[in-house]
């Protein structure tokens, strides 16, 4: 089930000493609704500040534009000096996919940002990395060659015509590189040795660059040379990984320190496992690992599922349990408590939300029973569907772990994952239904003094009403989707749990009927007859198909129980 598309933006500004300037820039970022500012990291020696924020694509593009604009107004590059290479007030502005979005899509947003900035701001913009317009501009170091001081001559060269903006030198703003790249993970693996040399031997085994090729012993053997007298290199086992060994005095042991620059090439768990293999071969042991900074949720989910499969367990368990498996398997708690709420980007974004699904069962029931009109029937219908899907997932997981059914783990695991996906979407719809109701109330309270205000209010009510109709309609559809795997669980699942599959089907039927009532009441009085006719047709079809599917599952359940 698709969730929110999230992009991380990590602009680097050429100011790291005057925090009043940096605050003005970050204030512009935080003004944009839907943006979460994650980190502000100034460096005095480099005179450079790295800012990290995240959000959905459109707010991220707007926040990045406003930050670039403000930096060009308050940072004067003609007076800038620092140890880090740079060419503009906003030196680089990479966009990074976090969840439910591809790198290609992010590259398109980088181009949109470049076009907007180039059209509205009076200085040059270059695209780099995955958004690069030309192969020779992919490497940031190439784009930034000559730095700020070389821009006047560089802009005269037709080969270096900017992708967006004027080919004219702007002494104050310089030039900015906008790009799209994959998420970079800073990751350290702990060893039971204090030897940097031995840690380096592991680092050389796993990093993409590898080690100098030698005959016989890979450490002490004679170097192998090519035909032209150049040293030959033996590639390491992990693509897109840079690694070195170092000793950490604070911990009293050595680590392999890595940058994983492309998580599609090397996953977190692969890097860990390759370190473990190399260390074991060399008489050492990996004792744990350490994540530096934040990580996308998908990275932890992939690791957790990998280790669950290694253990012969179902991967169709709750997200929190999958991540917990990753934490323990990777030894992320060795150096201190690893809190997913503070280390996983998506969880940090959820931290400030007050969601119904985060309440205890009693608190949720009490809130429903209160004098407040929300949560109402739509949210309860969604929750009933979530419980139905959960029961199906439970049957799948019990079946996956049934003694003697080891050859069917993958089959049941896949169905358990289907149940988890449906459950998660329906839980999200619990809150979305209440939000839809609240939006109607908010729209109806808009001012209506003038004709213009009346038109704005009417349009807002129409939009909110359609959302309030389509949300329970989605509850109907998603709850109906659960029948297909519930039927399989009734037919092939653990016979001792067949009644649970039946109860799951009944819960989904109640969800479909309950959501149907909410579709009808929200359609009442809506003036767009063509739209209502289309909605009713789909809702009526779902209702009939739901009843048929539920009856079919209950017949299977009855037969199994009576066998």
Residues 6+ apart with CB under 8 A from 224: 212, 213, 214, 215, 231, 232
Query: What is the reported pLDDT for 377?
Result: 93
Rounded distance between C-alpha atoms, residue 112 and residue 116, angstroms: 6
Q: Is-contact 331 356, C-beta < 8 A?
A: no
Q: Say if residues 123 and 170 touch (Cβ distance below 8 Å).
A: yes
pLDDT, residue 351, reads 58
| Pick among 3.40.1190.20, 3.30.70.670, 3.30.450.20, 3.40.50.12780: CATH of 183-261 | 3.30.70.670
The domain locations on the chain are 6-180, 183-261, 354-562
CATH class of 6-180: alpha beta
Dig out the tokens for 210 from the structure.
């590898």
**Is residue 93 over pLDDT 50?**
yes
End-to-end CA distance of the chain: 37
Per cent of the chain over pLDDT 70 is 99
Residue 353 pLDDT > 70, yes or no?
A: no
Answer whether 477's CB lies under 8 Å from 543's CB. no
What mean pLDDT is predicted for residues 344-350? 83
Structure tokens, 498:
């067949």
| Per-residue model confidence as pLDDT tens digits over 122-145 | 899 999 999 999 999 998 889 999
* Residues sharing a CB contact under 8 Å with residue 400, sequence separation 6 or more, in sequence order: 313, 314, 316, 408, 409, 412, 413, 416
Tell me how far apart the alpha carbons of residues 384 and 507 are, in angstroms, rounded to a whole number. 6
Q: Check whether 11 has a pLDDT greater than 80.
A: yes
Q: Which residue in 109, 243, 247, 272 sits closest to 178, CA to CA?
A: 109
Q: What percent of the chain is predicted at pLDDT more than 90?
A: 78
Kindly state the average pLDDT of the residues 97-121.
Answer: 95
Report H helices in 401-497: 409-444, 451-492
Residue 2 has pLDDT above 60, yes or no: no
Q: What would the mean pLDDT of 272-300 be, rounded to a whole number?
A: 93
Q: Which positions are catalytic? A: 84, 433
From the candidate CATH numbers 1.10.630.10, 3.30.40.10, 3.40.630.10, 1.20.120.680, the one assigned to the domain spanning 354-562 = 1.20.120.680
Q: Residue 352 — very low, low, confident or very high, per pLDDT cuts 50/70/90?
A: low
> How far, in Å, CA of 182 to CA of 174, rounded?
26
Question: What average pLDDT does this structure show over 179-188?
Answer: 91
Is the previous residue joined to 375 through a cis bond, with omega within 30 degrees of 0? yes
Q: What is the mean pLDDT of residues 193-221?
A: 89
For the segment 49-66, what is each residue's pLDDT rounded down to a tens digit?
989 999 999 999 999 999
Q: How far apart are CA 553 and CA 558, in angstroms?
A: 9
The whole-chain average pLDDT of the chain stands at 93
To 10 degrees, the CA torsion angle through 191, 192, 196, 200? -40
Instruction: Give start and end residues of each alpha helix (H) in 351-408.
Output: 361-369, 377-400
Strand bridging mode 90-99 / 36-43? unpaired
- Sequence-distant (6+) residues with CB within 8 A of 196 are 245, 246, 247, 254
* E strands present in 145-268: 176-180, 185-191, 211-212, 233-234, 241-248, 253-260
Tokens of 537: 């047709």
Residue 326 CB neighbour total at 10 angstroms: 24
If we measure between CA atoms, which residue out of 107, 118, 120, 131 comes closest to residue 167? 118
183-261 against 354-562: fold identical: no
Specify the DSSP element, H or E, that contains 14: none
pLDDT band of residue 81 (cuts 50, 70, 90) is confident
pLDDT band for 1, please (50, 70, 90 cuts).
very low
The structure's pTM equals 0.79
What is the tens place of the pLDDT at every residue in 455-513? 999 999 999 999 999 999 999 999 999 999 999 999 999 999 999 999 999 999 999 99
The pLDDT confidence band at residue 85, using thresholds 50, 70 and 90, is confident
Token match 């149907």: residue? 516
8 A C-beta contact, residue 93 and residue 72: no
């Amino acid at each position: 089930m698709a969730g929110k598309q999230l992009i991380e933006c990590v602009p680097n500004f050429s100011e790291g000493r005057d925090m009043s300037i940096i605050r003005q820039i970050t204030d512009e970022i935080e003004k944009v609704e839907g943006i979460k500012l994650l980190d502000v990291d100034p460096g005095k020696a480099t005179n450079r500040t790295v800012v990290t924020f995240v959000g959905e694509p459109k707010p991220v593009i707007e926040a990045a534009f406003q930050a670039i604009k403000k930096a060009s107004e308050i940072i004067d590059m003609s007076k800038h000096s620092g140890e880090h290479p740079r060419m503009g007030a906003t030196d680089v502005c990479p966009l990074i996919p976090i969840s439910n979005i591809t790198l290609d899509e992010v590259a398109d947003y980088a181009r949109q940002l470049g076009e907007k900035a180039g059209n509205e701001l009076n200085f040059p913009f270059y695209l780099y990395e995955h958004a690069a317009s030309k192969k020779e501009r992919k490497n940031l170091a190439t784009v930034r060659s000559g730095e700020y001081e070389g821009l006047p001559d560089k802009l005269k060269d037709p080969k270096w015509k900017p992708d967006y903006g004027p080919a004219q030198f702007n002494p104050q703003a310089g030039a900015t590189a906008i790009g799209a790249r994959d998420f970079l993970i800073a990751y350290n693996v702990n060893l039971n040795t204090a030897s940097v040399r031995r840690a380096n031997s592991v680092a050389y085994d796993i990093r993409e660059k590898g080690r100098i090729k030698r005959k016989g012993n890979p450490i002490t053997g004679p170097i192998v040379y090519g035909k032209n007298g150049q040293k030959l290199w033996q590639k390491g086992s992990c693509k897109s990984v840079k690694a070195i060994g170092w000793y950490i005095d604070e911990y009293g042991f050595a680590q392999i320190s890595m940058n994983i620059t492309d998580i599609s090439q090397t996953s977190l768990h692969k890097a860990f496992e390759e370190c473990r293999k190399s260390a074991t071969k060399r008489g050492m042991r990996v004792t744990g690992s350490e994540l530096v900074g934040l990580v996308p949720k998908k990275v932890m989910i992939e690791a957790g599922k990998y280790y669950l499969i290694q253990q012969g367990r179902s991967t169709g368990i709750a997200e929190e349990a999958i991540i917990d498996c990753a934490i323990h398997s990777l030894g992320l708690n060795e150096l201190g408590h690893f809190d997913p709420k503070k280390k996983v980007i998506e969880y940090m974004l959820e931290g400030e939300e007050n969601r119904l699904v985060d309440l205890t069962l009693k608190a949720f029931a009490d809130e429903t029973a209160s004098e407040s009109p929300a949560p109402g029937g739509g949210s309860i219908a969604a929750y009933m569907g979530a419980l139905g899907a959960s029961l199906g997932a439970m049957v799948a997981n019990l079946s996956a772990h049934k003694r003697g059914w080891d050859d069917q783990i993958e089959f049941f695991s896949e169905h358990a994952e289907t149940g988890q996906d449906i459950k998660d979407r329906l839980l999200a719809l619990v809150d979305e239904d209440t939000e839809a109701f609240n939006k109607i109330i908010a729209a109806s309270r808009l001012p209506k003094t003038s004709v213009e205000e009346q038109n704005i209010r009417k349009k807002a009510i129409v939009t909110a009403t359609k959302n309030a109709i389509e949300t329970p309609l989605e509850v109907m559809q998603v709850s109906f989707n659960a029948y297909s795997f519930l039927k399989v669980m009734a037919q092939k699942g653990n016979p001792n749990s067949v009644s649970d599959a039946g109860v799951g089907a009944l819960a989904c039927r109640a969800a479909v009927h309950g959501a149907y009532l909410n579709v009808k009441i929200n359609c009442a009085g809506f003036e767009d007859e063509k739209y209502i006719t289309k909605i009713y047709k789909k809702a009526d079809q779902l209702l009939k198909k739901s009843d048929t599917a539920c009856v079919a599952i209950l017949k299977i359940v009855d037969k199994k129980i009576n066998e």
